Amino acid sequence: MTVAARILVGGRGKTEFEYGDGVLTKLGTFQKFFTQGELREYIESELGTEAVPAALGVFYVFRDSELRERFLAARYRRRSAAPRKRISELRFEQHRELIEPLIEWIANQGRPPDPDEIQEAGPIINEFGSLKRAFALIRRVTGSEAWDRISQRRTEVLLVYLALARLRSRPPISKLPIELQRDIRWFFGNYTKACRQADDLLFRAGNADAIDEACRRSSVGKLLPNALYVHQSALESLESILRVYEGCGRAYLGEIDSANIVKIHRFSGKVSYLVYPDFETDPHPSFARCVKLSMRTRDIECYDYADAENPPILHCKETFLQPDHPLAPKFARLTRQEEMHGLLSDAASIGTRAGWESRLQESGFALRGHRLCRRQTRDLTAAL
C-alpha cells in the first residue's frame, strides 16, 4: 500500500496562515500538514507495521515482511560484471554454455548458489560433482582476483543494508528472505557477527571526522571545501561509510523526485538532493530544486530555482560521474576545451547562467551541444 500526504518543510515562503494544528490556505480551506517523521509515526501506529519512505510525503507499507526486506536490500545492490576468461582450459571450453548461468549468478550474488537457487544446478552437479567444484574451475580459468573483488563488494552491500536496518527495527534473521539469510551466513558466518560489523559502520557514519576523511579519499565525485558532490549513478562507488551516511537521508526522505546530484556535507551532518534537469544533454544545466535534510535535527528545507531569472549552473560535469560512465569522455572533452581557452578561470563570476553567457560572449565563443565553437561574427559592412 502507498500512503501520501503534504509535508511541512522550510524554505518555501509564507503562502498559508497557521491555524490550530494546520494552516488556512488562500482559498480558505483548512489543511493539516505532517512532518516526514510525524507521518511515518501516524502510519505505523494506525497500521501496526513498518512504513518505508518512498519519497517526501510518500510511504510504502508492505503486508509481507519478506517482500519489504527484499525491497530494502535491493536499494543498495551494486552492479558487477563477471570477470573475463584469462586462460583457455579445455574443460571450461567444452562446458562453457552449461556454466555460463553459474558465472552470471555468482557475479551478481558474490557467492556460489545452493542447488535450489539456480535452474541449471542438476546438469552442472552431474558434470562437476558440485556447484562449488564448478566455481573452482571458473576461478582457475578467469583468475581469483576479480572474484574476490565481487565478493568484497557484496559484503559491503550487505553491511550497508544491515546498518540502515538498525534505523528501523532490524528483523531477526528468520524473517529475512532465504537468499539474504544464505548471503549473511556465507559472508559473515552468522547474523550476530554481521550485525556487530554493521553497527560499527553505522556509528562511524555519525562521526563528522570520519565522513570528512572518507569524502577526501573518495575516488568519485567533486570535492569542495564543505561537501562532496556525486551524481546519483555514482553512489554505488562510494565507500561504505558514505553510502550509509547518504542512506540515512534516503531512509528518512525516500526518493526525491528528479534529484540527480547528491551533496554530502562534510561537517554539518546534512545531506542535500539537487535537481539539475537535462544533466545529460545540457552542457551547463541549471539548478532547479534542492531538498536538504539535517540528520541531527531532522529539519527539512526546500529551495526552488525553477523560475529564477539567473539560476546557478554546473561546470565540469564529468567530475560528478564514475570514470567509466559512458558520457564522461564527452563531458571531459568540453571541459578541456573550456580550460584551454581560459573560460573556467574566476569561478565566482561564471557560476550563474548570466555570468557564464557573458563570459562566452566576451571571449567570442558559443556552445553547440558539448562542443565549444568560435562565435560567428556578422558582416560589419552589412550591419552598417
Round to whole Å and give the CA distance between 2 and 207. 34
- Count of structural domains, the chain: 3
Same domain, 100 and 36: no
Whole-Å CA distances, 356 to 101, 224, 286, 313: 52, 20, 11, 8
Q: What's the pLDDT at 78? A: 63
Same domain, 39 and 117: no
- Please say which residue of 285, 311, 326 terminates a domain: 326
Report CA Rg, the chain. Answer: 26
Same domain, 4 and 51: yes
What are the average pLDDT values for consecutive 10-residue runs of the chain, which has 384 residues? 76 51 64 80 86 86 86 72 60 87 93 93 93 90 90 95 92 94 96 97 96 96 96 95 96 92 97 96 96 94 92 96 95 96 91 95 93 71 34
Q: Where are the alpha helices (DSSP H) in 189-278?
A: 191-204, 208-217, 240-253
Residue 218's Cβ-side half-sphere holds a number of Cα atoms within 13 Å equal to: 32
Boundaries of domain holding 138: 90-142
234 CB burial (10 A radius; 0-12, 13-18, 19+):
buried
Q: What's the pLDDT at 95? A: 86
Grid coordinates representing 295 are 540528520
Is residue 194 domain-resident?
no
Is residue 367 domain-resident?
no
Same domain, 51 and 122: no
Same domain, 222 and 282: yes
CA dihedral 94, 98, 100, 105 (to 10 degrees): -150
Is residue 96 domain-resident?
yes
Same domain, 305 and 220: yes
Same domain, 111 and 47: no
Whole-Å CA distances, 346 to 65, 123, 335: 54, 66, 15
Same domain, 23 and 121: no
Judge if pTM exceeds 0.85: no
Is residue 150 domain-resident?
no
Same domain, 304 and 227: yes
- Please say which residue of 142, 158, 182 terminates a domain: 142
- Please say which residue of 310, 326, 342 terminates a domain: 326
Q: State percent of the chain over pLDDT 90.
A: 66
Q: What's the pLDDT at 26? A: 63
Grid coordinates representing 165 are 536496518
Q: What's the pLDDT at 379? A: 39
